[in-house]
Structure 1
């Protein structure tokens, strides 16, 4: 009627929306709930599972729709053609769930692309398919003829495998005049079934009474079971043993040792003699497993533990005890002993690793799940409450409780494989019992490498000294870069900056070893310094680079002999006599293209016995060793002067110095004649020297100005480019026995090619003598330090 009204009041679309909302509410968190009656036939409709899960029927097969039962069995199946869940095999609720009030089968539905898991619970409804049954088809009841009306005689009740109303039993007994059926409520809300004596009985009238006991359940339709009651009337011993309590309650911890006393029972019998002696025993209806756990002393009524108790298996035990006397017709008294166990912390937590994702990349985001750990403690209360922790402290991971008994280990801090490549973790699960119990498990979490480190050199720059005139292809240095990454991320290759292309004719680098080679002989006189950058690149994706500056200083070798300045190697001079001793008659000028010691020149006469002449060891000045008289006029002498450098090996050259001696009168005539002929007189020579000095200074100043302007313009044009030239500074200071000298040089060599003036020298040599001017027999003794 309600459905008809709803259909009348709601449109079809509204009714569908209402049904959809109801199904969405049922699904909850990806979980459906269905119900089906037990014993349903194969093919019985359970539910439209595809529709309820929001899946299209056409995508069930492509998405690999599959269903699994958590408890095993093939009770249900899904028709992938229409998405209907149906009963596949017979379901017996009593066989599946015994007496559990709620019986359900849990199913997992899994679909791929994308992966989803749905949980389905199918409740198995009970039907009244089990009739009540008695443990014995015939029950024997002994009744003394002296028992007074109102006496109670316990009976064994029936049991019904169904639940709910289907298991609610009611009892009836066949009509008779002496007995009535009595049902008493017990402490645990169960019923105690028995016969109540209505009137006194007489064995002589009737010794045995046979009654039919019927048990009927509350199902529809009702089912019933019967048992035959055989009531034997006893003639003697009319007092049964009696306990002071019908129910005894005992509490004890589960860890008591075997053989511990549970309780000592005491039943009294008002009879005398043999009829008063009592023996104790378990009732016949006591479960068999109780006799394996407890023992009962038949003589003194002591109940003791026989085996270890376990709270996790059973919280409570109930023992039915009877006391019988030893009369010819024994009489029995009954009681129940309820043993409640107290839990102790006797179960350590148990851990199970459900998932572990390794290696963990060092660039993993914070909060990424690394492992899923399940923790279970079988104890109860605080004894079963577990806390998990990670050791040692300071780890970049933490545990997060994600669900009941589940913990996720997530990344808590940034990872760096170069600092720690592997973590060894200890997961500790500890309960809250006293004393607390714990369990540990070890995890090894390797860290995966990413290319996050560029190759680095040991120092920011290297200085290399290479002698000039090296052989082509000579190995001059090796650069090495290290990369803390691993595998291809640490595979380093070397190359020169592509912007430094002019270097390709001078220097090359081996891409794998980092060895630097000089491709051609280096000439100190042309190139004094090469400065460039070597780059190192790893093979990671993306690759990272590092660079280092290399300064290659060309070391001078003595490969240039001294050269005398002038048009030729012969120098002539005219000397007027008389002259005093020590008079300078001329000076020899020589240059050496080398530098330092290799350019430090000394002068000496080739023949030490060359008359009254001497030459300055370092100045090249030719002077007289004695006074010359006019009588020596008209003579001409040629001096052979040897000019040597200080290199190893020593290189030298010779120059002929011609001296013409003229008297004063001859000198005047010669001067006049030379003047008339256009010859060189002394004033003219002096003027020529002055003019020559002025010209040389002017040209040098102009040349220096041009060089400075050119360098400034060149630096400005290449300010934003990579290193195309190599600036350098070399300073050397030495001392010797004859004095001290210093050599400094500042130059800039343009690799693109800037031609300088041939033969130009940028060396400056300063000499400070420490001894008096040398005598005529002076020998060079100074050696550079």
Structure 2
């Protein structure tokens, strides 16, 4: 305040100070203070709190702060530059939301007055969750039992895993360790909790796996995620689904003949993979060879032990055969059986023993060298040198023994095997001890070799010549061309084929057929030697291996001639019928040629050999017949007593079996005059005093024929001068028949080699020489023309020029003969 005095005027400043008294308590702006603190906040962390306000001043204002007792929190008072007091909340111990999610504190502000006044506020600390807890199952191990025949899809509920965290930090999903039989299906509850169901995904087999150990993992959704695990042990319960099984299907047992009654022969051990009553077994006999077996041995139904029941005598009974069956006690009981052969051994001291631990048989013949095919162990109950044994196999075998360990040997392949040479080996393992005298034992195993297709089919011959009689019946068996393949089974099964070959537009398969299974060769048609003489083709034999192997063979079919063509008499010429009339001079000398019979046969050389005989003769002392050339000659001169007319019946018979024949009847008449001149007309020149019209015609005819002959000779010369083209000889085939008939008849000469079309023969007769043309195929007529004796015909080649030349000569002389004959007849 200001005080003014008037006289003198003076101004005084008066300061009035009001002294405070502690009449106000501290107050907080908010009665409740909320704090959110993560449970992962480390100790010592401080949090600022709202200050309390006290309107008093001096010592009456806020002096300090207090907080209610807590093991996790404390108060630290801070003094500002202006002397004001503030409070910080100090975290003295780390928080755990899972133990206490909310902390309620009382904050008190106290002033310095007398008496002191205070004010309070509530501090609510909310502990925020962090993912500091892993999910946890209520059990560390879950045991589940399930039948092995349970259906796929069967479900088992598991207890939920518990995670004390909240929100995303709680359990999110489940995982199962790798299993082909089980899977996990996650279920979500109404409250969002997650549960797991175990589901069967594949059929179980207790015998393969009786217990399935699984790991179930629960994973939360925190960052980083935490997980918890539990073991799930699934025990598969048995069903009776396995039959008992013996250690071996066949037991070969040796027992000494001095074995006492009650001694153990064998302890049969049948196992049943099932369990419980399903694996409890009862043993019994199912079959034995004789009553002697049951009298001698006893089978314990519970243990499977076979013991000696009666006296054993090696000389009385050596081998006992029996079958034992093991049956389980399960529902729908199952059983298994084995065969037992008990061999009684003659009494002696201890012999070395051989045990075939393994023996691989059969093996492929192409097995690699050094392959182990057997493992053998040896032993001897004796001791010392008597117990030291040596094992060996026969020499000269493609195997060797290799010691693998103490008293164990391996039999290995030392040389290549060949099943075709040796199909099986009887390998005898012989063990001998070193005692004195040494005792030994042996064991023989048969090693069979499996075949591989390593052999080509083989024919016994590389070339087959098959002779087939002509006129064969279609479908007739010609031959059996069987090949041999030393392989086995399908590698040995052969299929036969005719390799197709087409000749003259005709394939071999149209002429022949072969049975593909046995190689039987059949003819599909009837063959005619006169048309087809031989065939050449190949037959293939192919096995059924993989890959197949094959070979072929050449087959030469030769058609053998049959005597199916009778001889044909071509001379003397018969115009009609089979009677020929001949005239001869009565003054004919002894040995003169009366007639000559010529017969032709188109069969082969052997069947076409003609012999001639008199079938009938008027006087057998007057005439003779050469059986080979058919010449009829006089044996003496005619006498006045001989009849004027003679009849000769000549039969021409071939050489076939049976022989075929043809006959000709020759009627001879003896004359006194004019016949001589007629018979020698070709040798006596004719003279005419008068040049008649007939002679004119004769001259014109001779000139024409001579001109034709000249032209033919010129053409032949031109063809001869031309260089012939080389041609390949055609292979033999059904339509290329080459005649090799070179036989002659009397003075006859083979004029043409091309017998397929015609054959020309010169046959001497009493009147001259005959040219005989034989056409083919058979059945055509014969053309006979007369040629004077002085005419000579030489052999020609197969060329066209030779054919023309021969034809021209024949035609020339034929025309001359006709003209002369006509002239003489006119005279």
TM-score w.r.t. the length of structure 2 is 0.37
Q: Choose 1 or 2 for highest CA Rg.
A: 2
